Chain A
């Protein structure tokens, strides 16, 4: 079948959707050609849908004419999630009509896809409830994007990822039908669990228009400590031993020496620049329980030769500790303008081994490679700082990235702990899943989306693709 020309397509779309929301000039198309990863693909046009009916209309049209459609939230994806790799229609969901309702009685939030995640945090807290998934992009990213990437942050350790909280969805399928999955009950065992299938599917199985989200009571209080170590191995041991001692902290974050130095150069905050690693531990829950727990965490850190352990005495000190953690990302971009941020994840007992592996990779390829991350759940963020204009170095980066993934999988881990596969990790899927495992996933995709129009080029490798190509 012949694809209609862009002009023909625009005429068809404008029968249902007002002109102002069908963007076709070059500046607009370039403005929707990127996300927070890198890679630049020009869509043929951008459509800003406001209602599920409009989404359904676009998808039906696209399916009929075999035109690729890429759903897009705030484009903070770090894995190339919404990039228009085959041209076609960028479906901007950020302007979708906003709806956010808190159902206090049932401990639920009902949110349309365009709601910004931090708005849910705020609305829940206003009534003493809590929505735990906390990606650091929460003030920018949409709940739709979070659901499709199955996002999480430091709190993932204790509270799990987005999928633990989504119990129902309204979805427009790749053939344009509007369906509901799950519902308002926490228990639901009717048939296949399509909700879970769609969460984390990176916009390849349907466009989410609304979600029913489980909330939990807000923990009463929290306590935070910062411990420094002059041996990475010891910091790793401290982490596993705290978890083995029966405490489940709400967060356990790790920064290596390069990150510490970068933060201190960026905004001096009194971090020990000679330390090989620091960890931040937070516990939350009942007031009397958390005092005991934080004491115990401190004790374990000391047992593993922490050079210093500091428990925050008040909110200000707590905020200072977290600020240094939040500064890591911006601080390290001072090392080089191009930041390749990975999120390879290993079983937590393997963290020290993974750290060693990463330091070998750094030496071998002579790259600025720094590591921080959510150590409590094994979700590390190796980051390579470079300049994409330096072609020779970028080639070394490609090799290094491949080795990082291989190392994670060898240690029994996974390609992605929270950023998704997108375009960047697609070539490595069979490494983790095996050919048959990958094929089962592909069959699901084919069943849902027989014409492969919804977010093509993501998750699954293209013909013959075996490794990431950055430039």
Chain B
């Protein structure tokens, strides 16, 4: 493409948003060995160094934002392992976000006809994720579907798989949804057992709330049992991570503000979440709202008070364990917990503290499992290649349980277990499920 074919309006915006950051990259390549997409695809355009360079090229107007930049950015997992590996602290997350934003804007403006999956995604982002009741209904539907045996029939006939292969495979990896009658309530206070050590708010998330509400319920009961009072904020909503991944900055900001307000009303010590991906988004509200001075203090305070549940639990010396665990446990880091929130040791410390369990670290546990938001749905083949490699390491540990701390990763690992044919000797669980069960919470 010649330079004069390139729409300078968008390259200029990209320049403004990302050039200084991209220009910090000294192209040393230190980030190459940690990038899952580079490792499996073996192509520099699918490496952090390559992607940063392409953003720079697009900002300089040398390549086109849609024709040349979009694909490499779409294929990025956003796991941000590169950011941690970088010796000169290039803020990859910001560059990535800026690129997604400008790509989305240009796509909208040029009205390139959206594909079927683009349309579905947009509808979900607008109408499903921010509306907790609708999502809950979807979750309840799923429960009905699973508990009536309908799922058995569809699984056996592979109807879903015929419609969409990735959807079909994920459908089978989905954990069992809990009956809607067992759900916690928004606005409710759940009292501490024994002497109250702390009062916290709990962030239920959207996917977690809809289809993994059991893990949320267990989180709440576990905190209670550890002497912590838990409030579910009445007006809390989706964290916005999925919107942000699609470059929808305005929608993300709106959700962020609603969450900040919902938390402020309560005046509690922490806002606790149990999903690495959501946690990372909450953790960066200050960056998201950096250009809105009137939100600065509020966002900073919010970020300061956000905690992953493992951080809080790891501080508690006397977790009320009641049962022995059987077998080896291994752990797959949630990238967003590890690379964005910097939480590396607490989950490991907790797993090691489970009575009876043997913790074995798997090789490359720090490398992304390629679930990456909804990356695995959008880029199924690429994602499965990374996952299959990961499973080889998981199986080597001889673990009977593989633990994660994020719903997307959990689904992905369960799918990995299915795909590698070890379903009979390995299960995929959220860390909370393990700790809760060892504490006698079902």
Closest-CB distance, A301 to chain B (whole angstroms): 29
- A333 pairs with B33, CB closer than 8 A: no
- A26 pairs with B63, CB closer than 8 A: yes
- Residues of chain A within 8 A of B33, CB atoms compared: 116, 139-140
- Residues of chain A within 8 A of B28, CB atoms compared: 36, 76, 137, 140
Bitwise, B47-66 to A at CB < 8 A (1) or not (0) is: 10010011001000011100
Stretch of B38-46, B202-210, B310-318, B376-384 lying at the A interface: B38-46
- B54 pairs with A31, CB closer than 8 A: yes
The distance in angstroms between the C-alpha atoms of A75 and B26, with both chains bound, is: 12
Does any Cβ of B come within 8 Å of A30's Cβ?
Answer: yes
Interface size classification for chain B: 20 to 34
- B1 pairs with A26, CB closer than 8 A: yes
Does any Cβ of A come within 8 Å of B7's Cβ?
Answer: no
Closest-CB distance, B377 to chain A (whole angstroms): 23
- B44 pairs with A137, CB closer than 8 A: no
Bitwise, A320-335 to B at CB < 8 A (1) or not (0) is: 0000000001100110
Chain B's closest residue to A92 (CB) is B44
Closest-CB distance, A35 to chain B (whole angstroms): 7
Closest-CB distance, A12 to chain B (whole angstroms): 22
Does any Cβ of A come within 8 Å of B392's Cβ?
Answer: no
- B42 pairs with A94, CB closer than 8 A: yes
The total number of A-B Cβ pairs within 8 Å is 76
Chain B's closest residue to A23 (CB) is B43
- A28 pairs with B43, CB closer than 8 A: yes
Closest-CB distance, B122 to chain A (whole angstroms): 25
- B26 pairs with A32, CB closer than 8 A: no
Does any Cβ of A come within 8 Å of B23's Cβ?
Answer: yes
Chain A's closest residue to B24 (CB) is A337
- Residues of chain A within 8 A of B42, CB atoms compared: 48, 94-95
- Residues of chain A within 8 A of B67, CB atoms compared: 26
A contact patch SS: loop
Q: Among residues 66 to 94 in chain A, which have CB atoms less than 8 Å away from a CB atom of chain B?
A: 74-76, 92, 94
- B29 pairs with A26, CB closer than 8 A: no
Interface size of A by Cβ–Cβ distance < 8 Å? 30
- Residues of chain A within 8 A of B72, CB atoms compared: 27
- A31 pairs with B53, CB closer than 8 A: yes
Does any Cβ of A come within 8 Å of B71's Cβ?
Answer: yes
Does any Cβ of A come within 8 Å of B88's Cβ?
Answer: yes
Chain B's closest residue to A20 (CB) is B43
Does any Cβ of B come within 8 Å of A269's Cβ?
Answer: no
- Residues of chain A within 8 A of B44, CB atoms compared: 28, 31-32, 75, 92
Does any Cβ of B come within 8 Å of A155's Cβ?
Answer: no
Bitwise, A24-40 to B at CB < 8 A (1) or not (0) is: 01111011101110100
Given contacts A116-B33, A139-B33, A329-B87, contact A30 B54 (CB under 8 A): yes
Given contacts A27-B68, A48-B42, A95-B42, contact A76 B29 (CB under 8 A): yes
Chain A's closest residue to B50 (CB) is A31
Picked from A23, A36, A48, A140, the residue with its CB within 8 Å of the CB of B26 is A36
- Residues of chain A within 8 A of B27, CB atoms compared: 34-36, 38, 75
Does any Cβ of B come within 8 Å of A339's Cβ?
Answer: yes
Chain A's closest residue to B85 (CB) is A139
- A140 pairs with B45, CB closer than 8 A: no
- A330 pairs with B54, CB closer than 8 A: no
- B43 pairs with A337, CB closer than 8 A: no
Given contacts A30-B54, A333-B88, contact A36 B29 (CB under 8 A): yes
- Residues of chain B within 8 A of A31, CB atoms compared: 43-45, 47, 50, 53-54
- A333 pairs with B68, CB closer than 8 A: no
- A330 pairs with B87, CB closer than 8 A: yes
The distance in angstroms between the C-alpha atoms of A208 and B44, with both chains bound, is: 21
Q: Among residues 4 to 45 in chain A, which have CB atoms less than 8 Å away from a CB atom of chain B?
A: 23, 25-28, 30-32, 34-36, 38
Given contacts A31-B44, A337-B24, contact A74 B32 (CB under 8 A): yes
Besides A31-B47, A140-B32, 7 more A-B contacts (Cβ < 8 Å) are A26-B1, A26-B63, A30-B45, A31-B43, A38-B27, A137-B30, A334-B88
Binding site for A on B (CB under 8 A): 1, 20, 23-24, 26-30, 32-33, 42-45, 47, 50, 53-54, 57, 62-64, 67-69, 71-72, 87-89
Binding site for B on A (CB under 8 A): 23, 25-28, 30-32, 34-36, 38, 48, 74-76, 92, 94-95, 116, 137, 139-141, 329-330, 333-334, 337, 339
Q: List 17 A-B contacts (CB under 8 A).
A: A23-B43, A26-B67, A27-B68, A30-B62, A30-B68, A32-B44, A38-B27, A75-B44, A95-B42, A137-B28, A140-B28, A140-B30, A140-B32, A329-B87, A330-B89, A333-B88, A337-B20
